[in-house]
Amino acid sequence: MKKILTLICVMFFAVSIQAQTAQNISTNYKQTCYWSKSSAAFTDCGDNKEYSSLFKINSDATMFYHTTNDIKSTYYVSKKNYLSNCDCYSYDVISDVGNKYTFIVDLEKNQLKIMSLNHSSTDDDYMILFKVKSNWKD
């Protein structure tokens, strides 16, 4: 009986550690699209350019860290939503310089989207679509 209780405690501890791990998402391509009023969708997408970067979501899903060859940025999560239509998550974030974005992490489609919306002119609304190369937890 003592062995069974010990085994249950070890399994519970392992599961709790796994539940509190950071999510890493590496990307290898990005494409920028702009909002079209006439079609009410993101269109006018530029080339799908090779672009390596790393997103890290902390274990509490309260912060994103984005690292590229040129810069490291931090984004603070103000709201997280599960989107059942795509089995993915949406995050309202504020960057370390005060800009507001919506991040959508869709690992089923190997995509991470950053949307900049609600500008005074919708001509300034855009989305950056990243292709996920790999994702893992640590």
- Provide the CA 75 distance to its chain's centre, in angstroms: 10
- Percentage of the chain beyond pLDDT 70 is 86
Tokens of 61: 């899903």
pTM: 0.81
Q: Mean pLDDT across the chain, nearest whole number?
A: 87
Section 18-45 average pLDDT: 89
Q: How confident is the model at residue 9 (pLDDT cuts 50, 70, 90)?
A: very low
- Using one digit for the tens of pLDDT, what is the confidence trace for 42-96? 988 988 899 999 999 999 999 999 999 999 999 999 999 999 999 999 999 999 9
Q: Which amino acid is at 108?
A: E
pLDDT at residue 6, as a whole number: 46
* Residue 25 pLDDT level (bands cut at 50, 70, 90): very high
Is the pLDDT at 14 greater than 50? The verdict is no
Helix (H) or strand (E) holding 94: strand 88-95
pLDDT band at 1 (very low <50, low <70, confident <90, very high): low
- Asked if residue 16 has pLDDT above 60, the reply is no
Residues 6 or more apart from 12 whose CB is under 8 A from it? none
The single residue listed with the structure tokens 């991470």 is 112
